[in-house]
Amino acid sequence: MEESRRNFIKKAVIGTSALTFGGILPSFTAKSYANIIGANERLNIAMMGVNARGKALASNFAMQPNAQVVYLCDVDKRALNNCMPEVMKRQRHEPKTTGDFRRALEDKNVDALVVAAPDHWHAPAAILASQAGKHVYLEKPCSHNPHEGELLVEAVNTYKNVIQMGNQRRSWPNVVAGIQEVHAGTIGKAYFARTWYTNNRASIGVGKTTPVPEWLDFDLWQGPAPRQAFKDNILHYNWHWFWKWGTGEALNNGTHFVDLARWGLQQEYPTRVTSSGGRFAYRDDWETPDTQVIGMEFENNAMITWEGRSCNGLKTDGATVGVIFYGDKGSLQISGDNGYRIYDLNSNLVKEIKDDTKVEAASLTNPSQQLDAIHIQNFFAAIKDGKSLNSDITGGHKSTLLVQLGNIAQRTGQSLDIDPKTGRIRNNKEAMQKYWSREYQKGWEPRL
């Protein structure tokens, strides 16, 4: 029976992408269409973190006809209650709920874990899932610090599972086509990629120490991070701006387009990384920069920059997010949608590729559900067919590392000399000892 289940899913994955994008018959809902496939023939998915982005992902995974969500896991009881109705709109099977995702890993019927918890849990959870024999769909950034990224690469090599990072634009068709144009030399030799992100985030204020709410398991929420008292301005999104749990805007949104820049320029590790910026817009508990410019230089006369403006949403080159590749014959811009534009050296638009699929780049939770489903199906195909991942963890780590190095340069106030063969910092013991890894709560350290 198990072999039959595996063979069925292997065949089903191949043609499912078309079904997800407008191929559902008008008389069917997404839920009724998904139920055509027997429940025992689907990949069984456990969701870790279902409050915001995780709820959107749970809905998307539940929509896929070759998968079903069998666990919702969250330390916030309210999030579990809010997510369940969204999943049940899209599938017949009712998932189990638990505050501790490790209970789901103990279930032999679970095929994969989707990690959408805060950044400090990303790599530790993925490693635990790998050790439990599960595949992992891991939201970006793949790790909280470079050491964890190295552990993830080692974990895949050790446990031979599939880990896909959730930088979904790697699977968007017209974004892929745009990168292929860069590789084909359409703009000549591409030597510089400029990336950016803008928003109008409000102040998070100064938090007050309060009792832990009854709906929250704050000890498990902190997990690998050293313990501290609960404050009323940490949850749910504001943890991004605290170094103990988050990684700032650079990894929150910068990872997506720095990844495209590295992909387009066909680079691995840099030789030098710089950063400048700070918390400029408000005086509050926000620790990471709200304004930051990171520079990444590479061996073969190539460079990437990332500019983050969390508290000033003026668009750059007509877009809130994006990357522009500059070459000796022209430029190519990819913004927040599934398309691209090519310009000649005189700034004339010579080609434009558009897609009517709606993308809300400013959305915190679900900017592009239909397009992201392609990335999910690629994950399934890698599991069942051995297909190459569009964002395997080796490449995911390299892109995540670029912006991590930017944050290390920011926190040390120094330009970093990088080994282009390993990505490790050279000639700076302070940076390596203090920021390559982190302090962990005793007993919670990630290990293989």
If phi > 0 it is left, if psi is from -120 to 50 it is alpha, else beta; for residue 244 that is: alpha
Q: Which of 71, 57, 44 is nearest to 134 (CA)?
A: 44
Instruction: Quote the CA–CA distance of 301 and 388 in Å, as a whole number.
Output: 30
Show the 3-state SS of 204-270: CCCCCECCCCCCECHHHHHCCCCCCCCECCCCCCHHHHCCCCCCHHHHHCHHHHHHHHHHHHCCCCC
Residue 399 near residue 153, CB atoms below 8 Å: no
| Averaged pLDDT, 118-140 | 98
CATH architecture of 2-170+371-391: 3-Layer(aba) Sandwich (3.40)
Cross-sheet strand order for the sheet of 190-198: 349-353, 340-343, 331-334, 321-327, 190-198, 302-309, 291-298, 272-278, 416-418, 425-426
Better pLDDT: 331 or 16: 331
Asked whether residue 262 carries a pLDDT value surpassing 90, the answer given is: yes
Angle CA 399–102–256, to nearest 5: 15
Region(s) of the chain under CATH 3.40.50.720? 2-170+371-391
| 3-state SS assignment for residue 69 | strand
| Averaged pLDDT, 264-282 | 98
pLDDT of residue 362: 52
Residue 258 CB contacts under 8 Å (≥ 6 apart), including other chains: 195, 296, 304, 306, 399, 402, 403
Instruction: Quote the CA–CA distance of 184 and 87 in Å, as a whole number.
Output: 42
pLDDT of residue 358: 66
pLDDT of residue 185: 98
Hey, what's the torsion of the CAs at 60, 66, 72, 78, to 10 degrees?
30
Region(s) of the chain under CATH 3.30.360.10? 173-357+394-421
Q: Which residues of 175-186 are buried (b: 16+ CB within 10 A; e: fewer)?
A: bbebbebbeeeb
Paired with 334 in beta bridges are: 323
pLDDT of residue 370: 85
Instruction: Quote the CA–CA distance of 386 and 10 in Å, as a whole number.
Output: 9
| 3-state SS assignment for residue 302 | strand
User: Which tens digits make up the pLDDT trace of 374-394?
Assistant: 999 999 999 999 999 999 999
| Averaged pLDDT, 120-127 | 98
* Lookup: tokens for 32: 């009724």
- In this prediction, residue 25 has a pLDDT band, given cuts at 50, 70 and 90, of very low
| Averaged pLDDT, 354-362 | 69
Q: What is the identity of the amino acid at 357?
A: T
* Angle of helix 173-183 versus helix 254-265 axis, rounded to 10: 40
Q: Does domain 173-357+394-421 have CATH number 3.30.450.40?
A: no
Instruction: Quote the CA–CA distance of 318 and 91 in Å, as a whole number.
Output: 39
Asked whether residue 251 carries a pLDDT value surpassing 60, the answer given is: yes
- In this prediction, residue 20 has a pLDDT band, given cuts at 50, 70 and 90, of very low
User: Which tens digits make up the pLDDT trace of 67-103?
Assistant: 999 999 999 999 999 999 999 999 999 999 999 999 9
Asked whether residue 445 carries a pLDDT value surpassing 70, the answer given is: yes
| Averaged pLDDT, 401-409 | 98
User: Which tens digits make up the pLDDT trace of 216-233?
Assistant: 999 999 999 999 999 999
| Averaged pLDDT, 130-142 | 98
Reported as type and span, the H/E element at residue 379 is: helix 369-385
Q: How far is CA 353 from CA 176, 289, 334, in A?
A: 12, 34, 10
| Averaged pLDDT, 231-243 | 97
Q: Which of 398, 431, 146 is nearest to 274 (CA)?
A: 431
Q: ω before 236 within 30° of 0 (cis)?
A: yes
| Averaged pLDDT, 361-377 | 73
pLDDT of residue 308: 98
Q: Tell me, what DSSP letter sits at residue 52? A: S
Instruction: Quote the CA–CA distance of 205 and 225 in Å, as a whole number.
Output: 22
